[in-house]
A and B are shown apart, each in its own frame.
Chain A
Amino acid sequence: MTMPGHIGNAPLLEVRNLSLTFHKGKQPAVDRVSFSIKAGSTVGLVGASGAGKSSVARAILQLVKPDSGEILFKGKNIGLMDPRALKTARQSIQMVFQDPSVSLSPKRTVEQTLMEPLQHFEIGDAESRPEKALQILRTVGLDQSAMHRYPHQFSSGQQQRIAIARALVTDPELLIADEAVASLDVSIQAQILLLIQKLQTELGITFLFISHDLAVIRQIASEVAVLYRGQLLEQSPADRFFSQPAHPYSKTLLSFAKGETPPGWTGDKWHLHRGQRPVDEPSACVFAAFCPDKLPKCESTEPAMFSIESGNQHVTGPQCVKCHLYDEVNSHDH
């Protein structure tokens, strides 16, 4: 992990011990999640539906109040900000949602949609704003003719470009994309992925990219963070994750994504998997019931997050994993 406060190396965003419960007494949607995003990197947040991916994103923007934990943006705690500071922070952290047909207002022209953030954040003046809007529109591959049209007059791919333009118009440093390509056809998805790659390289925008599709994540992420039942089980550099995933759940996810059924997975295991948390023991590892590599202590003690340090992995960051298998490895080492 990057040391907080170390200038130059400081992450753009740091999430520490974030927890969020929607229903009191029920399993938390987000359970003590910690991770960091370095400026200029793209973290892919992956997991099955219901793992808590969107809840993490919403909590970062303070769209829902977390129960506990800290969210540091450029070292400052977002949760403790006064409304004015929060507004400034939000100007730098923008979000793109899954379905542009819902996230764009049907009653506003593209121009109105793009002008609103500029007015809200008091960026530029009446003269410069339309210019800025047009410039962003061109960045996402649309032109002047789009300005006075309404969302329904565009294809779904163009609508998502408009949604991305709306997020870009405030010159954000961090873009949170929540399943931003999931509802698109592959050919349109490819166009949007290329656009995102362009934003990464040309504008240097940092991304938190949420997706259940590992192939999409492989295209654009420099790091991968794996969520399962609200808990972060692994954060690894992408090249490392896709060649040597550490956590047994990561391996499971990866085989499913390749269209393979991992050994030992049967239908009824999966039905359990989809339902309530199967192990009553609250201190067990969340993945214990389905883990092919389970140790006896996995059902009684929760593992801590370990950092696997090997070779030259420090160039992109260490591989962190929350699994007892690695405390075995570590204890042998000592």
Chain B
Amino acid sequence: MKTPALKVDDLSVWFEKSGVRVPVVDHISFTINAGDATGLVGESGCGKTMTAMAILGLLPASGFGVSCAGIEINGRDISRLNASRRRAILGRDIAIIFQQPATALDPVFTIGQQVGAVYRRHFGGGKKQVRQTMLETLESVGFKQADDIAAAYPHQLSGGMRQLAMIAMATVCKPAIIIADEPTTALDGSTRTLILHQLKHLQALHRAAVLFISHDLGVVRQICRNVMVMYCGRIMESTDCESLFSHARHPYSAGLLSCIPRISAGRPEPVSAIPGQVPSAGDLPAGCHFAPRCTRAEARCHDSVPEPDDQTGGGAACFRPL
């Protein structure tokens, strides 16, 4: 079997509140192959971004606890590297695109300086060569006037263009893994579609493995082959996108899908809502965390935690899947 580009094994993240461990990511495992995109979807606070930060090792040392059996990039475990070794990997082997380019980009440096700095940090090289690579990268993300963009400061660009600049920063070293954390959430329809196209194009070009974090299942369907549905720190269902959309097996996945309004020429199917609310991290129900909101829940759902029903670790973590 080929080595996956990214392998996350039994990752947990928690913080402590008045001496009690509050789990935010609860024993999750998954793999992504080179050239594949996997979506991680769920509602605010379900642990999506925490998963990303833990993989990257960007969680603050004080306040958070992280445990895992391993985080492997192309077979190499990065979870036990010290800070400086880890820094050598960030941006080169694994990069992240943040949700808010307006805050992720530095306002006092030009786009060219910021994209170039990432490359120089990892590969060095003369001024000319760095500039050459930087301009090529800006062109590859879709900027035709790369010179002008390189000379611009972040505030001179629109939101969509800033996000493209952010993508250029993430891809300048051609990393094996790209984590995209809600990269299109703040953008409107046309910009979103174009950013997604660009991301898809780059992913195919570099054969990168993409972990695409979003609360929007529609967006995930456009860009990802596989999808993981997360709820209260656990993965509820892990499958390929088409199966999820045609036949969601976990009641939570099905509920999420029915919440999405769709565009139809005729009268639209009305949305339906999932009853109740997401419990807070400090107050999670025992058993399956979704059980109190689940219409199919039975006694055992409230006591014990269901395991994923697929041999390979995928499928639905549910006692009574649809």
Residue of B nearest to A275 (CB): B158
A134 close to B (CB within 8 Å)? no
* Contact-residue bracket for chain B: 35 or more
Asked if residues B262 and A270 are in contact (CB atoms below 8 Å), the reply is no
- Known contacts A48-B189, A185-B215; decide if A242 and B263 are in contact (CB<8 Å): yes
Q: Measured between alpha carbons, how far is A162 from B219 in the docked complex, in Å?
A: 29
B255 close to A (CB within 8 Å)? yes
Residues of A within 8 A of B272 (CB): 190, 194
Which B250-265 residues have a C-beta within 8 angstroms of A? 255-256, 258-265
Q: Measured between alpha carbons, how far is A213 from B192 in the docked complex, in Å?
A: 11
A271 close to B (CB within 8 Å)? yes
Q: Measured between alpha carbons, how far is A215 from B144 in the docked complex, in Å?
A: 32
- Known contacts A156-B44, A256-B189, A268-B144; decide if A186 and B260 are in contact (CB<8 Å): yes
- Min Cβ gap B43→A in Å is 4
A-B contact pairs, 30 of them (CB 8 A): A186-B256, A186-B259, A186-B260, A187-B274, A190-B258, A190-B272, A190-B273, A190-B274, A193-B261, A194-B271, A194-B273, A197-B270, A212-B188, A212-B189, A214-B263, A215-B261, A215-B262, A218-B263, A218-B268, A239-B266, A242-B264, A242-B265, A243-B265, A253-B189, A257-B263, A259-B196, A259-B218, A259-B219, A271-B144, A274-B161
Residues of A within 8 A of B191 (CB): 48, 270, 274
- Min Cβ gap B322→A in Å is 17
Residues of A within 8 A of B313 (CB): none
Output the residue of B193, B255, B261, B264 with the most chain A CB within 10 A: B261
Additional pairs, 11, CB under 8 Å, beyond known A218-B268, A270-B160, A274-B161 = A186-B43, A190-B258, A190-B259, A194-B271, A215-B261, A215-B263, A218-B263, A257-B189, A260-B193, A271-B143, A275-B158
Residues of A within 8 A of B144 (CB): 267-268, 271
The 8 A CB mask of A273-296 against B (1 = contact, 0 = none) is 111000000000000000000000
Residues of B within 8 A of A21 (CB): none
- Min Cβ gap B148→A in Å is 10
Q: A residues touching B (Cβ–Cβ < 8 Å)?
A: 48-49, 155-157, 185-191, 193-194, 197, 212-216, 218-219, 239, 242-243, 252-254, 256-261, 265, 267-268, 270-271, 273-275
Q: Measured between alpha carbons, how far is A273 from B144 in the docked complex, in Å?
A: 14
- Min Cβ gap A295→B in Å is 23
Query: Which label, helix, strand, loop or mixed, suits the secondary structure of the B interface?
Result: loop
Residues of B within 8 A of A193 (CB): 261, 271
Residue of A nearest to B193 (CB): A256
Residues of B within 8 A of A267 (CB): 142-144, 194, 198
Q: B residues touching A (Cβ–Cβ < 8 Å)?
A: 43-44, 142-145, 158-161, 188-194, 196-198, 215-219, 221-222, 255-256, 258-268, 270-274, 277-278
- Min Cβ gap B269→A in Å is 9
Select B194's contact among A155, A215, A243, A270, beta carbons within 8 Å: A270
Residue of B nearest to A155 (CB): B277
Residues of B within 8 A of A216 (CB): 261
- Known contacts A48-B189, A185-B43; decide if A261 and B267 are in contact (CB<8 Å): no
Residues of B within 8 A of A188 (CB): 43
- Known contacts A187-B274, A275-B158; decide if A48 and B188 are in contact (CB<8 Å): yes
Asked if residues A186 and B216 are in contact (CB atoms below 8 Å), the reply is yes
Residues of B within 8 A of A243 (CB): 265-266
Q: Measured between alpha carbons, how far is A270 from B274 in the docked complex, in Å?
A: 38
